[in-house]
Amino acid sequence: MMRKFAQRYWTTLPCIILLAIFMVGPILWSLYGSLTNMSLTGENAVNHSFVGLTNYGKLFTDGEFPKVLWLTFLFVFFSAIIAQNGLGLLLAMLLQRMPKAACRFVSTTVIAAWVLPETAASFVCYAFFNKDGSFNQLIAGLNLPKVDWLYYLPMLAVILANVWRGTAFSMMNYQAALGDVDQSVSESSALDGASWFQDFFLVKLPMIKQTVVTNLMLITLQTLAGFTLIYVMTAGGPGTNSTTLSVYTYKQAFRFGDIGYGTAISVVMLAVGAIFGIIYIRALNSEKE
């Protein structure tokens, strides 16, 4: 049986081995770690023991966990699924109709936020939303009161920052997809009396559905795992008012030293990502059929 498998998949065998080492291996280690009382320091750092589902029991009785789960949903839904996806599609549509000079300017401006190193982009956002930052300077110019965005509205601030940071990825995906649509299709719909709006939503959008689903899957999983932007801007605070699953995992594992509990949270995050992935893959398969 192993010989048949090797003969059939020998060209992809190196990839399968690498996936097993670098993806399956860490997942199995995380599952094991979540069932132990492993800690960052102290006796349990060296001589940890198996505690079964104790960490999961602690997780689901943790008063902060439902809030963290809800904030993670808000962060992913509004910054990725709604804003990045929607703005990326809108920009790709507009860039098709813009003059070349304007198209280059807009593309360069949007992509600049994406190509910045993540830490640098995070500090830019921190400076922008800070109480004495650029955003409040603009507001003051309109004679409006300053707001400490990172203290009173931290989740809104990190959502807007993530939209600014990540929209370019969706825009480029949709630009490529729309560029592959035959122009004769639009010409035919125009001859039939279709408006620009009808041409896009009734003709072009159904033709790029696979790109839409693929883009949604990629940005959802990327945003779910987002850590640096939130941690640099707010460190998950004040309190836990901007804490997502990735930040909560870090806090429990490395700030409080409870590796076993932090790993249990990461396993839950893995399960959430797997659910999103399954939904999107099923949607992709249904499109292909």
pLDDT digits (tens, 9 = 90+) for 28-57: 999 999 999 999 888 888 888 999 999 999
CA dihedral 252, 255, 259, 260 (to 10 degrees): -30
Long-range contacts of the stretch 239-243 (C-beta < 8 A, 24+)? 240/64, 240/67, 240/68, 240/71, 241/71, 241/154, 241/155, 242/71, 242/154, 242/155, 242/157, 242/158, 243/64, 243/67, 243/68, 243/71
Higher pLDDT, 217 or 101: 217
Residue 2: pLDDT band with limits 50, 70, 90: low
Check whether 289 has a pLDDT greater than 60: no
- Segment 146-168 shows an average pLDDT of 94
Residue 271: pLDDT band with limits 50, 70, 90: very high
Check whether 3 has a pLDDT greater than 60: yes
| Mean of per-residue pLDDT scores for the chain | 88
CATH homologous superfamily of domain 51-288?
Answer: MetI-like (1.10.3720.10)
* Amino acid 15: pLDDT: 78
Percentage, residues of the chain above pLDDT 70:
93
Check whether 244 has a pLDDT greater than 90: yes
Nearest to 158 by CA among 217, 226, 225, 212: 226
**What pairs with residue 50 in β-bridges?**
36
* Amino acid 145: pLDDT: 84
Percentage, residues of the chain above pLDDT 90:
55
